[in-house]
A = this chain, B = another copy of it.
């Protein structure tokens, strides 16, 4: 803890500065910075965040020495402003505001007009020459202080005010005069005394310490705790408290208040932008009671408003403000969001901070500033939040459009989509084939639904989390998805969904917003994404900086094309099983599974071979020589088996057997914990003929594409779920044997690699042995997270929310890699793998590959590439560049 508790600012100087944000909070640091720059800041001082922590730790008492420092700082303010705190003739009034390191708008408490009492109110009336203003200010103070500091509930004051207006027969505050406000203030004070059994505090210093305590205390209120949890803000940061002399924008028509941005926060255009109100307080602009007026002529003309802009009504002050704008942007080298007040013809700056902006504006501002030489290209890259970039890649709902929200779920895959409701994948495919746009609504999805998901504009499920099948597949396909909308009841038989008492039938139109997790009735207008020049420019800078390569997870030609368009440098994960769900193939797949012996399986596999070979020919052709990692069959076989009697009968027919047999086989394949059962390379060990067929398809396809294009194809054959080196040894022999057979049968000599997914803790722990055989590792962090945590993605939904709300998991470990456990295994495996084989190729292909914090982790561990779903490729590219630039991504601890 530093020795100094209080930092003064104002009068053209300051003890703090913008670089002391951690100690002074954002607001305090920037007030100090503005004061140092000679900008007109009302004088004041900041109590540091360390005081807050000390206060919290000590259960509500202050560190020694604080009072003396506050007294001294207050005296300095009095001297600067020429007024005295508690002076009955011309009192200094102050505001007491919170100010944390990270912005937490509205979460903590504020007290304004502090210093007023039954005596000083008269002094204010005298010095302002406005008795009504003075008594209005006093009653506002009693109300605010009573609520925030003394805990007298808000409604008491509202009731009194309403009574007064009723008594006078008026309905607006503006109809009350000075005498009315004096009566109101008197009744407010009496109410406080009635509630608390003690009079409203009259001593200004008592008021001040009460307010300081309340603001520090508000750091631990429920709202603030919740906000911090949602925004990953540590409790240990604490808040600062800013005490600043009051200025008033409501002292007549020579006064005003406003909010402005140095550039347009929606479009990023380099034009002054803002709103102001004459004779008003800051709250009035925010509260929306009066319609604010535009700051500039240009804005007024765009909006077609009647009211004059500040540029017109207060040209001199506007000029001063524009100078401040230019000074601040040049100083901070970023777009600023400022608050100002004009008191009786004098401009005061109350706040500046880096302005929030849309993704589009962020891009434009960063590129413009870099082009103008204000910031470097590296800095431009640092400025873009990779998560926000996602907004630019999908259609979004028009922010102006009306939303009739029917239900909420998880924002599982971004983008907006609109279409007719269908309740089955088959129906989705049928309607889409007719040219209809459909939204596929399912309780949950399974691999069999993939065709329908592809055909749909968007997907809505009522069960499952951010990493449910629907969510993962939708993100991979770039389809908007709302998952786990538990308020919705789906009735497959009736073909309806019900929510909030409303029933939606098949064919009715709904809109989903996958970025916000909302489901709306009817069509909501949407905006198509535009990959503007700024996007392209920034991404080209990004590619020069990053060290990690970015691949994609893709198995369909469409996904591969999309990913290439987004800059993917190869396929990091091609899930071959997805190729078996096509209706034309699933029958053969089922025939294979149901076969009584190896001969039967081989016969069915022979039918699947041409399909799979053709799939690979397409993929290899699209990828034009870029590496393609093909994962051999991974899921448990029962995932392919039919669920309905009809389908069972069809399979029985095709396989020339009885439905009874099919059911018996399905039952025999049932597993208590399929995630931990007969899947992955275990299938390859038990049924080598399956992997043989897949390898044959890979090598025959690669050979053919090589012959046609004359360019080398570089498949990387990946064996999933290896837990023991011997598994890989046995299966690498299969790969090598089939490669040799294809070559001997006249195929082109295909260069290939054989490697494994590291997705089991044991694989990570024995990676040194496995690397003797594996030429590459791809970290399958989805399954690695499941096994490391002992946590099923499918089943964690019932408690994950509670876990996050209690702070047990700081982030969802399926979204952002867990460095302490899963990440530690990745680190161990990378280290052990390299110890055995120094040039081993290391990548990641779990969902984490598209998460910025996880990308930063991968950079740190020194992986060669990340692989993610096509729509996350640009995000991963940016995150990789930021990691290379040393930007600290928020990694959960």
Residues of B within 8 A of A300 (CB): none
Q: Tell me if A730 and B792 are in contact (CB < 8 A).
A: no
Q: How far is the CA of A761 from the CA of B672 in the complex (A)?
A: 21
A677 and B802 contact, CB distance less than 8 A: no
Considering only residues 787-811 of chain A, those with a C-beta below 8 Å from chain B are 787-792, 794-796, 798-799, 802-803, 806-809
- Most central of A685, A727, A730, A788 by chain B CB within 10 Å: A788
Query: Which positions 233-270 of chain A face chain B at CB distance < 8 Å?
Result: none
For the complex, what is the distance from the CA of A788 to the CA of B676, rounded to whole Å?
10
Cβ contacts under 8 Å, A788 to chain B: 760-762, 765, 787
Tell whether, in the assembled complex, residue A685 and residue B808 are in contact, meaning their CB atoms are under 8 Å apart.
yes
Judged by a CB distance under 8 angstroms, whether A33 is at the interface is no
A686, B799: Cβ atoms closer than 8 Å: yes
Residues 316-329 of A, flagged 1 when their CB comes within 8 A of B and 0 if not, give 00000000000000
Q: Which residues of the other chain, B, contact A334 by a CB distance below 8 angstroms?
A: none
Picked from B759, B798, B821, the residue with its CB within 8 Å of the CB of A761 is B821
CB-based contact B787/A790 at 8 Å? yes
Q: Closest CB-CB distance, A732 to chain B, in whole Å? A: 13
Cβ-neighbour of A825 out of B759, B761, B809 (below 8 A): B761
A706 CB-CB contact with B under 8 Å: no
CB of B765 within 8 A of CB of A799, answer no
- A401 at the binding interface (Cβ < 8 Å): no
Cα of A389 to Cα of B661 in the assembled complex, Å: 46
Q: Is the interface of A mostly helix, strand, loop or mixed?
A: helix
Point out the residue from B672, B795, B806 that lies within 8 Å of A678, measured CB to CB. B795
A675 located at the interface, meaning its Cβ lies under 8 Å from any Cβ of chain B in the complex: yes
Residues in B neighbouring A727, C-beta threshold 8 A: 808
Q: Judge if A671 is at the interface, Cβ distance under 8 Å.
A: yes
Copies in the complex: 2
Q: Does A458 contact B (CB under 8 A)?
A: no
* Assembly CA distance A676 to B675 (angstroms): 9
CB neighbours (8 Å) of A790 from chain B are 675-676, 721, 723, 759-762, 783, 787
**Does A559 sit within 8 A of B, measured CB to CB?**
no
Q: Which residues of chain A (740-761) have a CB below 8 Å from chain B?
A: 759-761
Least Cβ–Cβ distance between A309 and chain B, in angstroms: 54
Whole-angstrom CA separation of A447 from B721 in the bound complex: 30
Q: Give the chain B neighbours of A676 by CB distance below 8 A.
A: 673, 675-676, 786, 790-792, 795
A654 within 8 A of B: no
The reply to whether the CB of A271 lies closer than 8 angstroms to some CB of chain B is: no
* A726: interface (CB < 8 Å): yes
Q: Smallest distance from the beta carbon of A44 to chain B beta carbons, Å?
A: 39
| Binary contact readout A174-186 vs B (1 if CB under 8 angstroms, 0 otherwise) | 0000000000000
Find chain B residues with CB under 8 A from A760 CB. Answer: 788-790
Q: Is A513 among interface residues, defined by CB-CB distance under 8 A? A: no
Q: Pick the contact of A802 from B686, B789, B796, B818 — CB < 8 Å? A: B686
Docked complex Cα distance between A374 and B769 (Å): 45
User: What residues of chain B lie closer than 8 Å to A653, measured between beta carbons?
Assistant: none
A455 at the interface (CB under 8 A from B): no
Least Cβ distance of A812 to chain B in Å?
13
Contact of A730 with B821 at beta-carbon distance under 8 Å, contacts A760-B789, A790-B675 already known: no
23 pairs of residues in contact across A and B, judged by CB atoms under 8 Å: A671-B794, A672-B794, A672-B795, A673-B673, A673-B792, A674-B795, A675-B675, A675-B790, A676-B786, A676-B790, A676-B795, A677-B798, A678-B795, A682-B799, A685-B802, A685-B808, A723-B791, A761-B787, A761-B821, A762-B821, A762-B822, A766-B820, A766-B821
- Other than the given A677-B795, A686-B798, 7 more pairs (CB < 8 A) read A671-B795, A676-B676, A677-B796, A678-B795, A726-B808, A761-B790, A762-B788
